[in-house]
Amino acid sequence: MIAHSYAELWSNTLNLAITSILLVACIVNNFKTGTSGKHGRAWMCFTLAIAMWWIAERIWTLNELTNNDTLSYADLFWFGGYVFYFIFGVMYLMPFASQISRKNIVTVSLVVLVVLMLVLYTTKPHIGTFEEILHTAYPVADSVMLIPSILGMMLFFKGAIKFSVSLFFIGMLSFVISDYDFMYFDSIGEYYTGHIVDIPYLLAYAIFISGIIANMNIWNRINKNMPFNDQDAMR
């Protein structure tokens, strides 16, 4: 509905504002929860993931403004963020390991594998250069992130965790869906900064902010020495 230049300006501005607010909220949350124990280590991993993605976003924006389409350090920070988020997701689900069966894990993994094959078939029919191989790694990483996210959503629908606790999995789900859309439109040459697929992408960061705020509210109502596996506080 508006010119691409205005869409690009608003997308970059909102991205900077939302990701910066999220990073600050993560740091404040770390001061409240501490860095010791499973709980503290999990949130440190989440903060490191967000910090790496914040840096990657700034490098990406700079490359877009300078029309630099070559590979950059942004990819290193993106993948580093994926690693730390996956560790966070696993540690976040560990207290509920008894409620996640092997059948659930296998089923979710198979579903994610099918989705990955469809995405690769649609967006990357030919993989030859190193750049194409690197870009193919993104849907693979996204698919890996889907596994703890879907398992977390299953716990929510089973009533094992409260909605505020599941926000981090909902946010990652929105993140991955947007990333898949980006890869599709980019593969057909129709993506530009400010495209409509940026909306669920920015929404994912906003959902993460809501999750951080909800966690700090939970932390204010409980004893700071509460073990991370106290499921009653997370329902």
* CA atoms within a 13 Å half-sphere pointing along the CA-CB vector of 50: 31
Tens-digit pLDDT profile for residues 3-15:
666 777 888 889 9
Q: What is residue 204's predicted lDDT score, i.e. its pLDDT?
A: 93
Q: What is residue 125's predicted lDDT score, i.e. its pLDDT?
A: 54
- pLDDT band of residue 227 (cuts 50, 70, 90) is very low
Tens-digit pLDDT profile for residues 158-199:
776 777 778 888 999 898 888 888 888 887 888 887 888 889
Tens-digit pLDDT profile for residues 56-100:
999 888 877 777 655 568 888 999 999 999 999 888 888 888 888
Structural domain total, the chain: 1
- What sign results for the dihedral spanned by CA atoms 122, 62, 86, 226? negative
Which residue, chain included where needed, has tokens 């490098």? 59
73, amino acid identity: Y
Domain extent for 81: 4-234
Tens-digit pLDDT profile for residues 117-147:
887 777 665 555 556 666 677 888 888 888 8
Q: Please state, in angstroms and rounded to a whole number, the distance separating the CA atoms of residues 202 and 18.
A: 7
Of 16, 11, 12, 86, whose CA–CA distance to 49 is shortest?
Answer: 86
- What sign results for the dihedral spanned by CA atoms 156, 91, 44, 220? positive
Residue 10 or residue 219, greater confidence: 10
Q: Please state, in angstroms and rounded to a whole number, the distance separating the CA atoms of residues 78 and 86.
A: 12
Q: Please state, in angstroms and rounded to a whole number, the distance separating the CA atoms of residues 180 and 197.
A: 9
Q: What is residue 66's predicted lDDT score, i.e. its pLDDT?
A: 75
The full 3-state SS of 150-173, as one line of letters, equals HHHHHHHHCCCCCHHHHHHHHHHH
Whichever domain contains 184, its CATH number is 1.20.1070
